[in-house]
Amino acid sequence: MSAQIEEAAVDTAPRTGKGGGPPPRPRTGRAARSAPYLLILPAVALTVLLLGWTMLKNGLLSLQNLNKRQLIRHVTEWTGFDNYADTLGSSEFWAVTGRSVVFTAANVVLIMALGCLTGLLLARLGTKLRLLLLLGLVLAWAMPVVAATTVFQWLFDQRFGVVNHVLDQLGWHAMHGYNWTGSQLSTFSVITVLIVWQSVPFVAINLYAATTTIPKELYEAASLDGAGSLKQFTSVTFPFLKPFFLATTFLEVIWVFKSFTQVFAINEGGPDRLTETLPVYAFQEGMGGQHFGMGAAISILTIVILLALTAYYLRLVLKQEEDEL
């Protein structure tokens, strides 16, 4: 019995270091402290290589007068900020900027509205129908941009397009042989349908995933108060998922604003350059007009606009966090 008491006393006795002090803490080596930085080093290096170096070269190019003559003679003509001054002083640049903003706003509104409706539909469907709809959304989302654009070119073809044929069969005979790329409004309509079709799956799937995190008790309480579907969305879903809506809207603004392939492939910014957005405008001025310095300056200004939008978004997020506190 006494032996057991002594063993228990030994086990419960505080372990101390030399001289009765606390036990020494294990020393953290320099390698352990630098491990997180070493893990992210490849990603940082790749980002700097692919983005930083490209941005630097593009920035230097925007300060030059570079065209065919300079390329053939291997001459570098530094012009300072003349390209920026000419661009900012051009009425065409501001017209394209305003057009890009309106185009982006219209697309983002449609994407968020249809994406939210589809996401809420996913949350209410049964398992089999939900899986079927998810499969269709994933396939639409995973289709390469060039392939999707080619399909839409076939659909809206003037002579053999399915859209014109269906509208003609439905009694709208004026659409027989209609040229969808013959005017600014019709060309933008085709591009908008294409971009919205490609972007809705991202919003819908993410919204459905986000709704699964909302406690069901909130919806039950709202139902007891007599709230319908619309009232439940405005009083439960939207307030709970407000950060999701802010982040998704911000991402869609960036993706639509910088969209190039869809706009260029449908009609190359035509007719008469009336459907050019800033990325297409920069390409046409740089590659089409063989004024590479001007094209680089326009692309830098496009990035500045996106940075301004990013700053505005971060301001909204910080303000929201302050209000919650």
**What does the pLDDT look like over 85-99, one tens digit per residue?**
999 999 999 999 999
3 state SS for 187-202: HHHHHHHHHHHHHHHH
In a domain, 51, yes or no: no
In a domain, 37, yes or no: no
In a domain, 86, yes or no: no
Are the CB atoms for 184 and 271 separated by under 8 Å? yes
Tokens 């409706």 label which residue? 117
d(CA 296, CA 286): 7
Which of 26-40, 123-137, 265-279 has the lowest average pLDDT?
26-40
pLDDT of amino acid 277: 94
What is the pLDDT of the chain when averaged over all its residues? 85
In a domain, 46, yes or no: no
> How many residues are listed for the chain in this entry?
325
In a domain, 47, yes or no: no
Q: Which of 119, 101, 140, 104 is nearest to 237 (CA)?
A: 119
Are the CB atoms for 118 and 106 separated by under 8 Å? no
User: Is residue 134 left, alpha or beta, with left meaning phi > 0 and alpha meaning psi from -120 to 50?
Assistant: alpha
Domain of 258: which CATH number?
Answer: 1.10.3720.10
Helix axes 242-257, 292-324, angle to 10 degrees: 170
In a domain, 25, yes or no: no
In a domain, 98, yes or no: yes
Are the CB atoms for 253 and 101 separated by under 8 Å? no
Supply the DSSP symbol for 79: -
In a domain, 201, yes or no: yes
d(CA 316, CA 105): 18
For 78, the 3-state DSSP assignment is: strand
Q: What is the DSSP string of 204-216?
A: HHHHHHHHTTS-H
pLDDT of amino acid 2: 46
Give the count of domains, the chain: 1
Alpha helices in the chain, H assignment, sequence order:
2-12, 30-47, 53-61, 68-73, 82-88, 91-124, 127-142, 145-155, 162-169, 184-211, 216-224, 229-232, 238-240, 242-257, 261-267, 278-283, 292-324
pLDDT of residue 28 exceeding 80, the answer is no
pLDDT of amino acid 21: 52
- pTM to 2 decimal places: 0.81
pLDDT of amino acid 9: 46
pLDDT of amino acid 12: 47
Helix axes 184-211, 145-155, angle to 10 degrees: 130
Domain, as residue range, for 134: 92-324
